[in-house]
Amino acid sequence: MINFEYIRASSVKAAVDALAKNPTGGFIAGGTNLIDLMKRGVTVPTRLIDINNLPLKEIEESKTGISIGALAINSEVAENELIKNNFPLLSMAFAAGASPQLRNMATVGGNMMQRTRCTYFYDTTMPCNKRQPGTGCGALNGYNRMHAIFGTSEKCIAVHPSDMCVALAALNATVEVSGIKGERKILFTDFHRLPGETPDKDNTLQKGEIITGVTIPFNSFNKNYYLKIRDRASYAFALISVAVALEIKDGIIKKASLAMGGVAHKPWRLTDAEKYLIGRPVDPGHFQKAAYLAMKGAKGYGQNNFKLKMVPIAINEALTKAIA
């Protein structure tokens, strides 16, 4: 581990300024991923700016929705009555993520910023375009059981590991960020990005920006389900996860929002499946058709070929469970 400077920021502005003065620095909140990355030499910040004292922990209701501070702890958000009542999907996704110990440390902003768990990304002796652009992708022809089948590039087939983000993508959330140039909002579905030619960039955050919170608009979804298929019952990243939010009235699907985890470089919205489902009656045949439509453009890389078969099953099962 290389020596680094550690400072505590007392305000959002101070945090942003501190990073601007030292672009090779970084923010630390829960540290559940950053410490791992630093131990393995993947991330080598010269300055750690501790943002835990910033007033960004509140969960607040407004007329149009609920905003969650970037420093709200995962387990607290999951158990919050406002969240449980308005966005049960988000609570379910939190409960499926990591382990209780990690959920007690991890923050909402940190969860969004966590990096892929791709083994080649973590081992600094291996090729990885995300960690070191130009070195190649170790996973492409290697150990890729956990890897993406949607939106990949020849440069990177890593997946985003979060459960929370899958639910937030389905719930049409907005990310609030602050930077030297002021504040701005980013649609949650635009926050994370696909690898393309620059897999080193996980998201659309600009240099020096800090996440201050997430806002979720109120919705009319009356059927919600988060399905996570994983290799063990807890403390495992998703092979596949599916977030389902439906509004059903008189047996007709009025609104549908579906997103998946474990299949792409970002939370993967199933827009074709959503479009198909809206306006149709609740029916197993339609669920199957929607699951089929969701597979457009899917591509396996060897060890993850099973996902091509498992994804439609998972979508179908999540829809079935949501209406049960």
Partner 1 sequence: MDKIIEQTDIDRVDGIQKVTGTAKYSAEYDFPGMVYGVLATSNITKGIINAIDTKAAENAPGVLAVITHLNCPELPGYKSTPEQDKLVPTKKGYKVFADNIIRFNGQPIAIVVADTFERATHAASLIKANYTKEKHNTDFDEAIKSGTPLEGNNFKEYVRGEANAWINAPVKIEAEYTMPIEVHLPMEIHGITVVWDGEDKVTLYEKTQSLSGTQRNIVRTFGLKEENVRIITQFIGGAFGSAFNTWPHSMAALIAGRKVGKPIKLMLTRNQMFNLVGYRPEAKQKLGLGASADGKLMGITHEAIAMTASYNEFTEGIVNGSRSLYECPNVNTTYKVFPLDLSQPTWMRGPGETTGAFALESAMDELAYALKMDPIEFRLKNYAETDLERKKPYSSKYLKECYELGAEKINWKERNPEPRSMKEGDWLIGYGTGSGIFSAWRGAAKAVAKLLPDGTMILQSGVTDMGPGTATAMTNLAAETMGLSHTKISFEMGDTNLPPGPMQGGSGTTSTLGTAVFAACENMKKKLAAMIKDNAVFHTEIVHEVKVEDLVFENGYMMLKTDKTKKISYAEVIKSAGLSELEISEDSKGNPMLNHSAFSYAVHFVKVKVHSKTGVIKIDRAVSAVDAGKIINNKTAESQIIGAVVGGIGMSLMEEGVIDHRYGRWVNNNFADYHVAVNADVPNIEVLFVDKPDPVLNPIGAKGMGEVGIVGFAAAVTNAIFHATGKRIREIPVTADKLI
Q: Which residues bind partner 1 (CB under 8 A)?
A: 1-3, 41, 99, 117, 119-120, 122-123, 125-126, 138, 141-143, 227, 229, 231-237, 239, 306, 309-310, 313-314, 316-317
CB of 317 to partner 1, least distance (A): 5
CB of 60 to partner 1, least distance (A): 33
Choice between 173 and 291, CB closer to partner 1: 291
Choice between 120 and 225, CB closer to partner 1: 120
CA 47/CA 121 separation, integer angstroms: 22
CB of 115 to partner 1, least distance (A): 12
CB of 178 to partner 1, least distance (A): 32
Contact 90, 11 (CB under 8 A): no
Secondary element (H or E) of residue 12: helix 12-21
CA 59/CA 284 separation, integer angstroms: 37
Choice between 15 and 96, CB closer to partner 1: 96
Choice between 6 and 306, CB closer to partner 1: 306
Give the pairing type, strands 174-179 and 65-69. Answer: unpaired
CA 225/CA 207 separation, integer angstroms: 36
Choice between 109 and 138, CB closer to partner 1: 138
Q: Taken in order 101, 231, 310, 146, is the CA torsion positive or negative?
A: positive
CB of 102 to partner 1, least distance (A): 11
Choice between 99 and 220, CB closer to partner 1: 99
Residue from 37, 2, 6 nearest 22 by CA: 6
Counting DSSP H helices and E strands in the chain, the numbers are 13, 12
CA 321/CA 324 separation, integer angstroms: 5
Residue from 201, 219, 123 nearest 155 by CA: 201
CA 168/CA 226 separation, integer angstroms: 12
Choice between 276 and 287, CB closer to partner 1: 287
CB of 36 to partner 1, least distance (A): 8
Residue type, 246: L
CB of 264 to partner 1, least distance (A): 18
